[in-house]
Structure 1
Amino acid sequence: MEIEILCTKLIKPCLPTPPHLQRYKLSFFDQISEKEHVPIVLFYANNNNFFNTSTINERIEQSLSKILTHVYPAAGRYDKDECSILCLDQGVSYTKAKVNCKLYNFLEKSRKDLSLAALFCPHVNKYIDKTNLMVSPIVTAQVTEFECGGLAVSLSFSHPAMDGFSDFKFLFELARVCKMETPIENIKFLSFNLGNIFPTRDISRLFKSTFDRVIEKDIIVKRFIVREAAMSRLRKKCIDEARGALDFQPSRIEIITAILWRAFIESTFQ
């Protein structure tokens, strides 16, 4: 399986960021987080030619440009102090690629080796310099087309600028805008004010730099499977322990997330 890079370019917000928003201060919690990129890969089958692959890239690019108008820090670059982002519409890195296999065949292979999914992450391109945060894009994207017309859409987010919740919110809004062709004025997004609530601090005496400029870390992919029977038992146990406090049926994601967080909290205080 070989991935061929067709082109790489910068996607910029379709409207310029206003002057009063051109410096985004990171919060204290962002400041001490690992300065690593967190990739997400989504796979889309083109069943019965549901979408036209000749125009889908153009639509994704346009939707990304619209979203960046609202998520202006994502199109910026870290300032030299690494405690703020200069939101001067420098853009996100966008790569188009193709792979010499069908999506179905890839999914069959990935059942035995889930790490194959990492091949579709936008690891290296001409805009990324891992030794210099001030010139590297905060968000990188790659759209890879399979021989069958299916797509692998991958985005990678710099962790201090965007946490897990904002990553998924970004993806959700991008998909909605791409599908519905939502106009810019109707896009809803988060407010970027955490730096006002938890201001940056001088951490030079507390921590060493969290960015490792020498050691390059490999992406580790793991898969956790929870059977339906076990999920049903967990859901029943959650409802029973809540003793009427829950006024909704928790989803699978909510249950698993709650269990993981409880385990994390308990291990922290042991």
Structure 2
Amino acid sequence: MSVTFQACYMVKPMEPTQRGRVPLSEWDQIGTIYHVPTIYFYRPSKHFDLSPNYTNIASTLKDSLSRVLVPFYPLAGRLYWIKNGRLELDCNAMGAQFIEAQSSLSLEDLGDFSPSSEDHYLVPTVDYTLPIHELPLVLVQLTNFKCGGISISIAISHALADGPSALHFTSEWARLSRGEPLQTVPFIDKKVFRAGEPPLAPLTKCRVYSEFDDLPLLLDQTKRTEERKKKTDVAILKLSKVQVETLRKTANESLRPTKSRGYTRYESVTGHVWRSACKARGHKEDQPTALCVCVDSRGRMEPPLPKEYFGNATFDVVASSLVGDLVSKPLGYASSRIREAIERVNDEYVRSGIEFLKNQDDLSRFQYPYVTGSEKGLLQGDPNLSVVSWLTLPIYGVDFGWGKEVYMGPGPHDFDGDSLLLPGPDGDGSLLVAVCLQEVHMDAFKKHFYEDIE
């Protein structure tokens, strides 16, 4: 291992904050409840260089972290299991974990920052064997490289923050770190999702939700145990602006006779990823497959939620198809299945979903496991897929006071079928597809992914 861990601190809010137990919304307690890491790399600059100034960097980050935890005080608390797979937040100001580490590598040794085994040492490790109330909700790792560069990795519990919320926290932390005032205060009121309130109607009167059904199994299997044990691989594939436009044009060919709105980048590229994965996995034509699509409900509520709502307002909806239809029909068919799933999400859908979940005896079956190999909870892997979009999120340009990052990306993830779309860092219209598949399928996926664009 080329990383040496040097110090670990617990950073608490600088000022007194709200204390006590508060309920989480149903959307906070389903899907991904483990920590989701991101990582930022910074090259040496006039603001920092080799070892003596590393102390100043760490001090600046810890000081600004303690200040940003005041308005974002839920992240300084701890989660508790209460009963039936349900969670509660204790706002106890226990703080966030801050780790300092030293790498014997230079940033140049990481090349183009493609996923590698080194990544696991650059992000905070969360020990999920511990009781959940002992786990910090935010963990930060500052790694110093021998060239004078640094990386900052941030792991945030998804039970407290979805993508927009996590990025809101990170951007405000960076703002305070570079000496500027807080720009946007988080909206922390989970009553908008009726958190902690009893159901309004019995389950028999709730809408039927296909999203909460078990995802399809492989045709020759009755359980997922063996699939969860298979080794996975991660790749980040680039699509140029021309390739993205080619996919959009191809997907929209089926819409020409109609007046329908053209398919978006997400619908077109994700349809292509879905088809490529099915081909790479070598499924039979009658194999059912599902695609989990993450939709932000903030602008779909009536009235719309504040953009700065802090919590989980994004959740998965499911597009489904038979593999034979997906791979034999034009790309527009896959895109149409995705659009149909997205358009189901409106105010009534969100509110009735809350009622459905409030009526459940146990929420654990709607949660993804902490680790691969688990036999409990949801699974998105073979023959299924999840593609989350970061295309409209402000993921780049995070400046803690020494300039913008040279690379930003997701931390290591090893769940089969877990995929992510990111805008290209140069703002040139390119896209990045970060995909995790079983190792035996990755080469075939790359082949179909690029060849089918032509």
TM-score with structure 1 setting the length: 0.74
Provide the aligned C-alpha RMSD in A: 3.8
Cα deviation per residue 1:27-66 (whole Å; 9 max; x = unaligned)? 101112333111111111114x333433111111111111
Say whether the 8 Å CA contact 2:251–2:268 is kept in structure 1: no
The change in CA–CA distance for 1:26 and 1:182 in structure 2 (over 3 A counts) is same
Say whether the 8 Å CA contact 1:75–1:138 is kept in structure 2: yes
Alignment partner, residue 47 of structure 2: 50
AA of the residue aligned to 1:42: Y
Cα deviation per residue 1:60-110 (whole Å; 9 max; x = unaligned)? 1111111111111111001341522111100011100110011111235x4
Cα deviation per residue 1:99-122 (whole Å; 9 max; x = unaligned)? 0011111235x44x5343232111
Confirm whether residue 31 of structure 1 aligns to residue 29 of structure 2.
Answer: yes
Alignment partner, residue 121 of structure 1: 123
TM-score with structure 2 setting the length: 0.46
Measured after TM superposition, the shift of residue 187 of structure 1 is 4.2
- Percent of matched pairs sharing the same residue: 24
Confirm whether residue 40 of structure 1 aligns to residue 38 of structure 2.
Answer: yes
The change in CA–CA distance for 1:160 and 1:99 in structure 2 (over 3 A counts) is same
The change in CA–CA distance for 1:79 and 1:56 in structure 2 (over 3 A counts) is same
The change in CA–CA distance for 1:196 and 1:118 in structure 2 (over 3 A counts) is same
Query: Following superposition of structure 1 onto structure 2, how do residues 1-270 of structure 1 map, counting pairs within 5 Å?
Result: 1-19=1-19, 22-47=20-45, 49-51=46-48, 52-81=53-82, 82-107=86-111, 110-111=113-114, 113-123=115-125, 128=127, 130-179=129-178, 181-183=179-181, 186-200=182-196, 221-233=234-246, 255-256=265-266, 259-260=269-270, 264=292, 268-270=319-321
Is there any run of 5+ residues in structure 1 with no aligned partner, and where?
208-214, 247-253
Which of the pair is proportionally richer in helix?
1
Larger Cα-atom Rg: 2
After the TM superposition, which segments of 4 or more aligned residues of structure 1 sit over 6 Å from their partners?
215-220, 235-241
Say whether the 8 Å CA contact 2:18–2:73 is kept in structure 1: no
Cα deviation per residue 1:216-264 (whole Å; 9 max; x = unaligned)? 99996431311232134467889998x9x89xxxxxxx94488549974
Is there any run of 5+ residues in structure 2 with no aligned partner, and where?
200-211, 214-227, 275-290, 294-316, 322-454
- 2:192 & 2:78 partners in 1: Cα distance? 20
- How many residues get paired? 243
The change in CA–CA distance for 1:170 and 1:27 in structure 2 (over 3 A counts) is same
Measured after TM superposition, the shift of residue 164 of structure 1 is 1.6
Say whether the 8 Å CA contact 1:129–1:135 is kept in structure 2: no
Which of the pair is proportionally richer in strand?
2
Say whether the 8 Å CA contact 1:28–1:201 is kept in structure 2: no
Q: Relative contact order (alpha carbons < 8 A, sep ≥ 6): 1 or 2 greater?
A: 1
